[in-house]
Amino acid sequence: MNLLIGWSRGIDRFTALLGRGVAWLILVAVLVSAGNAIVRKAFDLSSNAWLELQWYLFGAVFLLAAAWTLQKNEHVRIDVVSSRLGIRTRIWIDLICHTLFLMPFVIMMAWLSWPFFWRSWTTGEQSMNAGGLILWPAKLLVLLGFVVLTFQGVSEIIKAIARLRGDLETPQETEEDHLPPELREHAHMVHEIEEAHQKNEGKSDA
């Protein structure tokens, strides 16, 4: 089990590194969008290539950061019921759902994405828009996104089994864990503000 846990940690490190890296593409997309708008308004110049580049950048963030989102447990989910359950019950639910629903889906998508990308690569597929970009990089992002998500799904299953076995520490449960997602985030922010206020008061007393 220790070998699997070590493998899981390696996947998590790679996923986090990739997610933080592609997050910067949001800034690049904003700059491209702003630059394209300024040039179009100021000089009456534009190109479909710039518009499609924005789509590529957004797609890269959405697809390549999906695994990091899963790792951080920040993906969209229905917490109305699960937030009221105990931590071990939630781990069981995650284990079952990841095994029966997530993994078959991402494996199937990765499998189907390979010929989807390969045909585009071998034919040099080009955008149908005038001045558009080549399409295989966008289709490669689909393939890579689901491959990375597959590995992260395996990592989540390993961690769930390890926590249920007692081989890995179970995250400590707090009162905030039982709140709905929107209230949980608000409570977390309030908690951080209170901690900062207490630290400032301690420095003032000193």
CA distances 65 to 58, 71, 176, 196, 202, Å, are: 11, 10, 26, 31, 40
How far is the C-alpha of 33 from the C-alpha of 55, rounded, in Å?
A: 10
> 74 and 18 in one domain?
yes
> CA angle, corner 135, sides to 134 and 140, nearest 5?
125
Q: How many domains, the chain?
A: 2
Closest alpha carbon to 110 in 136, 137, 141: 141
Question: Out of 1-5, 32-36, 128-132, 200-204, which region has the weakest mean confidence (pLDDT)?
Answer: 200-204
| Rounded mean pLDDT, 7-20 | 93
> 114 and 195 in one domain?
no
> 140 and 186 in one domain?
no
Q: What is the pLDDT of residues 2-12, one digit of tens each?
A: 888 898 999 99
126 strand-pairing partners: 134
> 169 and 185 in one domain?
no
Contact 87, 170 (CB under 8 A): yes
Domain containing residue 87? 2-173
| pLDDT category of residue 74 using cuts at 50, 70 and 90 | confident
> 121 and 58 in one domain?
yes
pTM of the entire predicted model: 0.76
Q: What is the pLDDT of residues 158-192, one digit of tens each?
A: 999 998 888 777 776 554 554 555 555 555 565 66
